Amino acid sequence: MSVLTRDEAQTRARLLDVHHYAVELDLTTGDETFDSTTLIRFTARTPGDTFVELKPVALRSATLDGTPLDPAALTENRLPLTGLTEGEHELRIDASMRYSRTGEGMHRFTDPTDGESYVYTQLFMEDVQRVFAAFDQPDLKAVFELTVTAPEGWSVLTNTVTEQQEDGRWTSAPTQLLSTYFVAVAAGPWHSVRTEHAGLPFGIHCRRSLAPYLDADADELLDITKALFDRYHEKFTEPYPFDSYDQAFVPEFNAGAMENPGLVTFRDEFVYRSAVTDTERQTRAMVIAHEMAHMWFGDLVTLRWWDDIWLNESFAEYMGYQTLNEACSDRFPDTWIDFGVTRKAWGSDADQRPSTHPVAPDPDAVPDTASALLNFDGISYAKGASALRQLVAWLGEKDFLAGINTHFQRHRFGNATLADFIDNLASATDRDVHGWAEQWLRTTGVDKLTPRITGEGQHLRLAVDRDGSRPHRIAVEIYDRDASAALVLRERRELDVPQQEPAELTGPHPALVLLNGEDLTYAKVRFDETSLETVLRSLSRIPNALTRAVVWNALRDMVRDGELEPVAYLETALAHLPEETELAVVQGVLGFARTYVADRYVTAEDRPAALGTIHAIARDLLRRTEDGDSPGLRLTAVRTLIDSATTPDKIASWLDEGTVHGGPELDPELRWRILARLAVLGATDEAAVEAELARDPSASGQEGAARCRASLPTAEAKEAAWASMFTSDDLSNYLFTATAHGFWQPEQSDLTAEYVTRFYEDAPALAGRRGPAIAEAAGRYAFPAFAIDADSLAKGEASLTDPTLTPALHRKLVDQLDDLARALKVRG
User: In the annotation, is 491 catalytic?
Assistant: no
- Dist. CA 745–CA 784, nearest whole Å: 9
Other CB atoms within 10 A of residue 43 CB? 14
DSSP string over 549-605: HHHHHHHHHHHHTTSS-HHHHHHHHHHHGGG---HHHHHHHHHHIIIIIIIIIS-TT
**Torsion of the alpha carbons at 593, 594, 595 and 600, rounded to the nearest 10:** 80
**Region of residue 156 (phi > 0: left; psi between -120 and 50: alpha; otherwise: beta):** beta
Long-range contacts, stretch 533-539, CB < 8 angstroms, 24+ apart: 534/479, 534/481, 534/487, 535/572, 536/568, 536/572, 537/575, 538/481, 538/485, 538/486, 538/487, 538/511, 538/512, 539/572, 539/575, 539/576
In the beta sheet, which residues pair with residue 79? 52
Which candidate, 823, 731, 736, places its Cα nearest to that of 776? 736
- Dist. CA 116–CA 405, nearest whole Å: 45
CB 62 within 8 A of CB 40: no
90: exposed, middle or buried (Cβ count in 10 Å: 0-12, 13-18, 19+): middle
Rg (CA), the chain: 27
Indicate the angle between helix axes 699-711 and 715-726, nearest 10 degrees.
130
In the beta sheet, which residues pair with residue 117? 110
Residue 227 identity (one-letter amino acid): A
Q: How far is CA 708 from CA 126, 665, 680, in A?
A: 35, 21, 8
- Dist. CA 449–CA 522, nearest whole Å: 10
161: exposed, middle or buried (Cβ count in 10 Å: 0-12, 13-18, 19+): middle
Indicate the angle between helix axes 754-770 and 715-726, nearest 10 degrees.
20
**CA distance between the termini of the chain:** 44
**Strands 155-158 and 143-149: what pairing?**
unpaired
410: exposed, middle or buried (Cβ count in 10 Å: 0-12, 13-18, 19+): middle
CB 765 within 8 A of CB 803: no
Provide φ and ψ at 688, rounded to 5°.
-65, -35
Of 24, 126, 269, 291, which one is the catalytic site residue?
Answer: 291
Catalytic residue positions? 291
